[in-house]
Structure 1
Amino acid sequence: MTNIPSPGHPAVAAYLAQGYDSVVGMSSRFAAAICARLLRLQTEDGVGGPLAEIGAFEGRFFIALAHALEPGELAVALDIFSWPDDGVKGRFEANCLKHGVGPERRVTVKGDSGVMTPAELMGHAGGSRFRLIHIDGEHSRAALAKDLVLATACLSEGGLIVLDDMLHPGYPTLMVTVQAYLEANPEIVPLCVIDRETIVGATKFVLCDRAWFERYQARLLAIFEAYIWPLGADFEPHWCLVLSQDTRLAEIT
């Protein structure tokens, strides 16, 4: 494992080093380490509770997130679990067990986020709001718009929404949905952009409540100093950090 920040959790670090690549999936190890560290940051700032992943697939990213929770906190995995075949749910469950996330620490939900109400989603976590929701479901504008509405309604104070496959060449219109969402929800802002490792391990956006932005940003500037791309991201008019394994600027001669 090279050029990966500390995830802030020994169990996450062990999984990233020894098990992450063995679980079929598309999310990058770099993004998993950063999101796990964000969960640690939340804990240190008094933000606790469950997390949810919309589009858990075979569990690669979910397992990393689950290991970053505190004792007694639940990780909820929501997926239609029918793509690419009906065996994906069994593989998800087996991967979780193999890598130390037992049924006492997770809830597996076979369902469609597009028709789920906030009360139904929170009901899978005992009625609690979520401190982090990772959206990696159907990659269409309509589905992402619905998932963003659902996530926003279920988020706790100080909570984070993480969006997968942003700026992916295979899904270029998803950014249109994100921009429309941000314009319609000015209380939510981008906290940071997590740069891609590869086309497969694509970019993620992390969103937070505007009231929490400066608090989180100050911590990120200190924790991830070596991974900050100097120019940042301009969301017009909001600016946020870009975290990358390659922080070089273009040479202009």
Structure 2
Amino acid sequence: MNNQLHWKQFIGLSLALILGLLLFSTGTEPLQAQENNWEARYWDNITQSGTPVLQRTEANIDYDWGDDAPHALVPDDNFSAEWVQTTHLFAGNYRFTATMDDGMRVWVDNNLVIDSWTDSQVHSLTADVYLTTGNHQIRVAYYEVGGKAVAKLNWVQTTTPTQGAWLAQYFNNTTLAGEPAHVQNEPAINLDTIGAPAPQIGSDNFSVRWTQTISLNAGRYRFTATADDGVRLWVNNQLVINEWRDQAATDFTADVDLPGGAVPIQMEYYENGGGAWPN
């Protein structure tokens, strides 16, 4: 936050990254990113009726089969498929893009967001969906009548911070519920408050979520979060600090082994009230 802002209550949130391999061992297993796959089922009809002729795990829905069949057990025409995946996503707006020939439907958390269940030539449809942080189920239904066969789905987060900044989302409650009351980019997570962090936010009983993706070399990193009251921290989609309770200003650390590359980081915090000052 701007050093010219002098707020009433100390929240003391900091996230320290030691950018290098720390030469020590904690004796615990390294935290690894989860890999999400699709559970796929194929039928030899266009209505997904009866027992699937093929079930398998697939990494992506990115198929242009042309005039061919997806598999020897599946016909090249008059077949259907379903893919289901549960994936952890950070809060924000997401754009889902489905490309198909012939028909496709897409559900996000059992809400139908793309519906093109008709014979057609290859085309794409998009849907914008706001999602909270957590696990979300994505389900795709597809059928092919004849001719070329295409089935593709991808999504991107459209609410992202500027380069090198944290995307901060503030809520006028302690549970990060509903739509954010205020969104801004911040150069660092470092609140030392007297009053409200923004004009739209109360001085007590608020919460905030920060997200950023950082490029890091492979190695072990120590993450430190200081909070009054509750704090949670995810690194590479793994919850590494979970101190979601009323408390005085306290330091928490987590040592995480990272494989290198782009690392998503998310920090959540809530302020319930009362004064807290650093020693």
Report which of the two has the higher share of helix: 1
User: TM-score band (shorter)?
Assistant: under 0.3
Instruction: Name the structure, 1 or 2, with higher relative contact order (CA <8 Å, separation 6+).
Output: 2
TM-score when scaled to structure 1?
Answer: 0.27
Report which of the two has the higher share of strand: 2
TM-score when scaled to structure 2?
Answer: 0.25
**Structure with the greater alpha carbon radius of gyration:** 2
